[in-house]
Structure 1
Amino acid sequence: MQFGWYVNEWAAAAFSSTVLTVFLGPYLTGITKDAADAAGDVHPLGLSVPAGSFYPYTVSLSVLVSVAAMLLTGSVADRTGRHKELMCGFAFLGSLATMGMFFLSGDRYLLGAGLLVVANISYAVSVALSYAYLPGLASPDQRDKVSSTGWAYGYAGGGLLLIANLALFQGHDAFGLDAGTAVRICLASAGLWWALFTLVPLLRLPSRAGVAPGRTAVAGGTEAPTQDGEPAAGSLRELGRTLRGMREHPLTLLYLAAFLCYNDGIQTVVSQASIYGSEELGMDQTSLVTAILLVQIVAIGGALLLGRIAHRYGAKRTILGSLVGWVVTLALGYVMPAHQPAWFYALACMIGLVLGGSQALSRSLFSHLIPPGREAEYFSFYKISDRGTSWMGPLVFGLAYQVTGSYRSAIISLLIFFVIGFVVLLRVPVRRAIEAVGNPVPERL
């Protein structure tokens, strides 16, 4: 069962690395500019939107809709026990939308927006549902290792396809392809990769996200009937009860607050590193692409290394240590000399070292703080913390640059997220939080 879950991570990461991180943003922006009027605007649904803003606005729309989709789907999954069917169904839907990006050409920016919204929502829902399997994959003392291994699989799968796609794009002339066709093939390949490898969890995982040894299932571990016979209506009521019930677990909410802070800092560093590298450090496109690959590769070892450290010292201590690592990384980035690719690559390696481990251990630690039988719903809230607040870090980054005119000031301003996250996490009594939701306490925390 663990292998099927690992391969699911391997499959989904292709969409994140190839589509969202590298290829779709510049390509869709170029198509949108080709469709723009003389003033540089496009007019979706009668609205005037600058062509350069269309892609980020579309991403924002998909994130907002995915918040509602994750909450409702998580409730349906826990209520019906059809975790695998929903997880794989959304994965196949997202992969089809991604494969459809092969047909993005000319001025089809609205097609691109529609496919992006469907694919990104499907990705978010599928990943949130996959997280719900974690408590049933291993005993509490082995969960950090399993989560870290899954994260390593994700970076390995996403990185392997990205390397192949970058090779295709860089050598498109040798293959007799123009640049646009090469990008469209790269985008479609991510969808094909996602769909093919999703067949493994479809065959290897049980329908219901199970419960690990020492936990007790609720509702008998079977589908719970609704009063009116309508699962969707019943799930909406269950979702409302979950929202109210989360107030009964304030320590779980305190952990989510800590995660919200430091994860926003992590996501902003990752998303703004290329801008910092190009605008402040003078890195060319080749150096930026090399750095992206280094992050992917080093993050594999980083996730596994921090998983081993957590097994010895506990997840909370290891996460706190990784946050110190993030602070050191930002400080070194602040003083890094410009036009020195070797130093920039070293910074990329440092990011990769703490990136995978801090996220994998945050996921496994949260899995201990979920009431049994509510995994999908609570991990939907977790993913909302991951995605739904990702505007705060870029806002601080942008304001710092606007005030100072320096990207060095902008990058160092992100320290506030790691400092606040560290302080809040330090104050979370993890043992008491685990006991409060009725779960067995791991030997090391």
Structure 2
Amino acid sequence: MTPAQLGRARRAWYVYDWANSAYVTTTSTVLFSPYLTAVAEAAACPGGVGEVVRDGATTCPVPLSVLGIPVAAGSLALYVVTFATLLSAVVLPAVGAVADRSRSPRRLMTGFAWVGAAAAAAMVFVVGDRWVLGAALQLVASLCLGASLVVYDSLLVRLAGPDERDRVSSRGWALGYAGGAVLLAANLVLLAQADSLGLDEGSAVRVSLLSAGLWWGAFTLVPHLGLRRLDGEPAVVALEGPDGAAPASTARVVAGSLGQLVRTLKGAPAFPQTLLFLIAYLFFNDGVQTVIAAASIYGQQQLGFASSQLVVAILLVQVVALLGALAAGWIAQRTSARATILGSLVVWMAVVVAGMVIPAGEFGLFLALAAAIGLVLGGTQALSRSVFSQLVPVGREAEWFGLYQSAERGTSWLGTLVFGLVFQLTGSYRPAIASLVVFFVVGGILLLRVDVARGRAQAQAGTGAGHSAGIQDADGGAAPRGRGR
């Protein structure tokens, strides 16, 4: 591609972050979990019959029946996210393997995006006691978002050389925060003016959910058209036919991709630093993502805030996160990316402890916590993405990004599972939020053991641990290579 064509392709790539971040912020982070919780509780306790007050919060003690298993209505949304992430752990690495062999990863990415956007828009029909529909749509949207982002992340290698990836990836990441903030601000206005528009709060929330799905689907058209020049030879050659030609059928491509994925997983222990970082990230990102996913439920159900107040808090997180990520990048250049992440984990632990003791109805304190979350959110995720990008084995980027996304997307399964179980056992969200400290502690301890320089050398050599001898620990201050959330 000429420089002008490359510039247009990069701008089209940025727009996908703008597209999907509106769904991540409005639907996944702020509105849908508490809304689905309210729908589930209304189904379990119709008309409020049987509701009780526990620790200042009104809850329904009557469990739902999910395949014969009793599930607390207040835990439903968290369990759906947990199940979606467990499926992602299986599905997303396979998606990455297929993407490495696809002649049109652009179509693969946008196909997943449009299915996810359709599911997101269909959330407008989750009314009354339709909690099953809501859970199914949340599952589909979460899986499709993760699958599309596996391909999206891997395209960075085709759009920028190593020296340019910090700048290119950071621009996409920043535009994502901007897109999320713009739609969230518009939905804040809608929620605040619902009465004057003749809408109740539930109807305003459903319209906001619809807007996020439409936004995601409409703006995905830009990368679908703008990345056409990336179509052509796959990053990894698929299994050849007898005549040396590329496989004639999609089935053969998928079979070859899955076979390579199995070989990659078998060979993964040869990259011990990459695996160690991924495990550390799985733990501390469990904590990060569970705080994000549970914040709206905690604020509404435990602290008694309205949906419009939650939108204000998350909008504050979006704005501060952009500034925090820039600050984290500056700090990382003067220390190291790993040290900066470790410092942010200390702040996360303080936020969780403070959240556990905040009194109900204290919106000012809740906003202060939101600002603290924003301060470390962007940096934690951007720098984590940056470190991992240096540890990915050369030539298998999409496969390894699939593993990364399976740990990252929609909250990681262990954190939401623990949060949901603690609530179900205690009937209060306060001990549930406190339980998340463990994830930051374990993730930080594991991260201390990661040797970034050695892992980078192993990944670049593509031959694993056997080439690590004599490498000095020079965990430099890598600038953000990640988009993050």
Please report the TM-score for the alignment, with normalisation by the length of structure 1.
0.84
Measure how far apart 1:62 and its partner are: 2.8
The percent of aligned pairs where both chains have the same amino acid is 49
Matched, 1:117 2:169: no
Structure 1 partner of 2:33: 25
The CA distance in 2 between the partners of 1:354 and 1:302, in whole Å, is 6
Are the structure 2 counterparts of residues 119 and 400 from structure 1 closer, same or farther at C-alpha, using a change threshold of 3 Å? closer
Are the structure 2 counterparts of residues 268 and 104 from structure 1 closer, same or farther at C-alpha, using a change threshold of 3 Å? closer
Pairing 1:360-371 to 2, within 5 Å after superposition: 360-371=382-393
Structure 1 partner of 2:483: none
Which has the higher mean CA deviation after the structures are superposed, 310-319 or 16-25? Answer: 310-319
Are the structure 2 counterparts of residues 388 and 291 from structure 1 closer, same or farther at C-alpha, using a change threshold of 3 Å? closer
The CA distance in 2 between the partners of 1:131 and 1:333, in whole Å, is 33
The CA distance in 2 between the partners of 1:37 and 1:262, in whole Å, is 36
Measure how far apart 1:158 and its partner are: 1.3
Computed over aligned residues only, the root mean square deviation of the Cα atoms, in angstroms, reads: 3.6
Measure how far apart 1:306 and its partner are: 1.9
The CA distance in 1 between the partners of 2:70 and 2:477, in whole Å, is 55
Measure how far apart 1:128 and its partner are: 1.8
Are the structure 2 counterparts of residues 382 and 168 from structure 1 closer, same or farther at C-alpha, using a change threshold of 3 Å? same
Correspondent of 1:224 among 231, 235, 238? 238
Matched, 1:105 2:119: no
Measure how far apart 1:156 and its partner are: 1.6
Correspondent of 1:16 among 24, 35, 40? 24
3-state SS in 2 of match to 1:224? coil
The CA distance in 2 between the partners of 1:377 and 1:140, in whole Å, is 19
Please report the TM-score for the alignment, with normalisation by the length of structure 2.
0.78
2:28 counterpart letter in structure 1: L
Pairing 1:115-264 to 2, within 5 Å after superposition: 115-205=137-227, 221=235, 223-226=237-240, 229=247, 230-264=252-286
The CA distance in 2 between the partners of 1:305 and 1:224, in whole Å, is 42
Are the structure 2 counterparts of residues 302 and 179 from structure 1 closer, same or farther at C-alpha, using a change threshold of 3 Å? same
Which has the higher mean CA deviation after the structures are superposed, 361-370 or 166-175? Answer: 166-175
Are the structure 2 counterparts of residues 148 and 417 from structure 1 closer, same or farther at C-alpha, using a change threshold of 3 Å? farther
3-state SS in 1 of match to 2:220? helix
Which has the higher mean CA deviation after the structures are superposed, 319-328 or 348-357? Answer: 319-328
Are the structure 2 counterparts of residues 173 and 411 from structure 1 closer, same or farther at C-alpha, using a change threshold of 3 Å? closer
Are the structure 2 counterparts of residues 221 and 393 from structure 1 closer, same or farther at C-alpha, using a change threshold of 3 Å? closer
Pairing 1:338-349 to 2, within 5 Å after superposition: 340-349=362-371
Correspondent of 2:437 among 410, 415, 424? 415
Which has the higher mean CA deviation after the structures are superposed, 89-98 or 67-76? Answer: 67-76
3-state SS in 2 of match to 1:368? helix
Structure 2 partner of 1:213: none
Are the structure 2 counterparts of residues 70 and 279 from structure 1 closer, same or farther at C-alpha, using a change threshold of 3 Å? closer
| Deviation digits for residues 172-230 of structure 1 (CA, Å, limit 9, x no counterpart) | 221233444322221111111001111222233356599xxxxxxxx984642345841
Are the structure 2 counterparts of residues 52 and 316 from structure 1 closer, same or farther at C-alpha, using a change threshold of 3 Å? closer
Correspondent of 1:427 among 422, 431, 449? 449
The CA distance in 1 between the partners of 2:40 and 2:422, in whole Å, is 29
The CA distance in 1 between the partners of 2:141 and 2:221, in whole Å, is 18
2:125 counterpart letter in structure 1: F
Correspondent of 2:10 among 2, 18, 26? 2
3-state SS in 2 of match to 1:132? helix
Which has the higher mean CA deviation after the structures are superposed, 359-368 or 147-156? Answer: 147-156
Are the structure 2 counterparts of residues 320 and 227 from structure 1 closer, same or farther at C-alpha, using a change threshold of 3 Å? farther
Are the structure 2 counterparts of residues 222 and 416 from structure 1 closer, same or farther at C-alpha, using a change threshold of 3 Å? closer
Q: Is the 8 A contact 2:81 2:413 kept in 1?
A: no
Measure how far apart 1:370 and its partner are: 1.1
Measure how far apart 1:359 and its partner are: 0.3
The CA distance in 2 between the partners of 1:128 and 1:20, in whole Å, is 18
2:397 counterpart letter in structure 1: E
3-state SS in 2 of match to 1:423? helix
Q: Is the 8 A contact 1:82 1:207 kept in 2?
A: no
Measure how far apart 1:11 and its partner are: 0.7
Pairing 1:250-329 to 2, within 5 Å after superposition: 250-274=272-296, 277=299, 287-329=309-351
Structure 1 spans left out of the alignment, 5+ residues: 211-218
The CA distance in 1 between the partners of 2:359 and 2:451, in whole Å, is 41
The CA distance in 1 between the partners of 2:204 and 2:306, in whole Å, is 21
Measure how far apart 1:280 and its partner are: 6.9
